[in-house]
């Protein structure tokens, strides 16, 4: 398992590595709106709460810029110290000493870390559904993963996991992965292959109740998060009234931040990918006539949707965020610091 908490995003990946077999990603979860910048904002608010001239600081971009640099230094210092003092520069060159303890910092950011634990637990459940009963190594990656609370909370909340190990050069694993992708883009092949699963779900809008279409639409998830990539899934829907001659198809990708088994079905909560209309349904079709929808998600990050209803058909295509490209699948696994 790789727990990657970087400056702007959070991801958890479970990878199965077996002798004489390609490595395979069996579970991916995360939140692309959660990262070290959120910790910075909390620490900034904590420092401003101690400042005598907080209102003046907030109104002065130059002073706030200096404070943000101090926040970064303070965050790094609290990785190795129980408390740290710094001088806040105020209006007119006035300085004020402020001391922040690690306990105060951790309390101010506890809910952010809770969110990563929730997503890590979700990744474990996804992995179990793919036959992974035990995690052999837990690898921490990303600069924020150096925070002592990360390893401690993982051990407290998820005791089934092995002790967390910090990736070698944890701050630069993403950059090194990008360099390797560039190397492959130039035509070089290192022979490594990694299979993967999708981090997002993909579905189509359907009426919630065909007996009462006025209740609105919900998303029917055809490909769930955690499905193997490539993935081909089919589902049947139906016409909702006698003599229906056309049908609008709206395809959605699940939004970032939803956890397993908690996918809301309100289309407004998710990302609209593509829309099309299938027309020319035969006259006289009764209500409940079957319509087949096929979803095909490729390793190239393209989702193809095929709709067939009697003598009418529709094909839609969209690039998606949840599937990793073939190059991304082959990004390096960071080393383990034991």
Per the CB < 8 A criterion, the answer to whether 105 and 82 are in contact is no
**Architecture of the domain whose range is 199-319:** Sandwich (2.60)
Domain(s) of CATH 3.30.420.40: residues in the chain? 1-198+325-338
CA nearest neighbour of 108 among 143, 75, 61, 151: 75
Model pTM greater than 0.85? no
Rg (CA), the chain: 25
Residue 334 to residues 9, 224, 291: CA-CA distances in angstroms? 17, 28, 46
Residue 20 neighbours by CB under 8 Å, 6+ apart: none
* Residue 6: count of CB within 10 angstroms of its CB: 20
CA-CA distance, 334 to 4, in Å (whole number)?
Answer: 11
Domain(s) of CATH 2.60.34.10: residues in the chain? 199-319
Fold of the domain built from segment(s) 1-198+325-338: Nucleotidyltransferase; domain 5 (3.30.420)
For residue 185, what are its two tokens? 């883009």
Residue 320 neighbours by CB under 8 Å, 6+ apart: 200, 202, 253, 273, 297, 301, 302, 303
Tens-of-pLDDT digits for all 338 residues of the chain? 999 998 888 989 898 888 877 778 888 888 888 999 999 999 999 999 998 888 888 888 888 988 888 898 898 899 889 999 988 888 888 888 999 999 999 999 999 999 999 999 999 998 998 889 999 999 998 888 889 999 999 999 999 999 999 876 555 555 555 555 555 555 555 555 556 778 788 999 998 887 777 788 999 999 988 788 888 999 998 888 899 988 999 999 887 655 555 677 888 888 888 999 988 888 888 988 889 999 999 877 789 999 988 878 888 888 776 544 444 444 443 433 33
């Amino acid at each position: 398992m790789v727990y990657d908490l970087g400056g702007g995003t959070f991801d958890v990946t479970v990878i199965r590595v077996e002798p004489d077999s390609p490595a395979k990603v069996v579970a991916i979860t995360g939140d692309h709106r959660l990262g070290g910048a959120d910790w910075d904002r909390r620490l900034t608010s904590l420092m401003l709460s101690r400042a005598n001239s907080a209102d003046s600081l907030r109104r002065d971009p130059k002073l706030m810029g200096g404070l943000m640099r101090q926040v970064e230094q303070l965050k790094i210092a609290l990785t190795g110290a129980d408390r740290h003092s710094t001088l806040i520069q105020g209006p007119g060159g006035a300085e004020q000493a402020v001391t922040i303890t690690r306990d105060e910092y951790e309390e101010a950011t506890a809910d952010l870390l809770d969110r990563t634990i929730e997503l890590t637990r979700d990744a474990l459940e996804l992995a179990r559904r793919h036959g992974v009963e035990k995690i052999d190594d837990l690898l921490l990656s990303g600069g924020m993963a150096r925070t002592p609370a990360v390893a401690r909370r993982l051990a407290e909340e998820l005791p089934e996991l092995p002790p967390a190990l910090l990736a070698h050069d944890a701050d630069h694993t993403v950059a090194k992965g990008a360099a390797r992708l560039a190397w492959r883009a130039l035509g070089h092949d290192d022979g490594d292959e990694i299979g993967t699963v999708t981090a997002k779900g993909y579905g189509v809008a359907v009426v919630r109740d065909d007996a009462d279409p006025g209740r609105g639409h919900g998303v029917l998830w055809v490909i769930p998060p955690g499905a193997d990539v490539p993935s081909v899934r089919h589902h049947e829907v139906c016409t909702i009234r006698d003599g229906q001659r056309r049908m609008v198809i709206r395809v959605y990708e699940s939004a970032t931040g939803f956890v397993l088994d908690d996918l809301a079905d309100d289309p407004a909560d998710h990302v609209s990918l593509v829309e099309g209309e299938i027309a020319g349904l035969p006259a006289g079709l009764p209500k409940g006539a079957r319509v087949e929808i096929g979803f095909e998600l490729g390793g190239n990050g393209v989702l193809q949707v095929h709709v067939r209803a009697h003598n009418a058909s529709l094909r839609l295509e969209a690039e998606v965020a949840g599937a990793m490209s073939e190059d991304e699948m082959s990004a390096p696994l960071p080393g383990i610091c034991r």
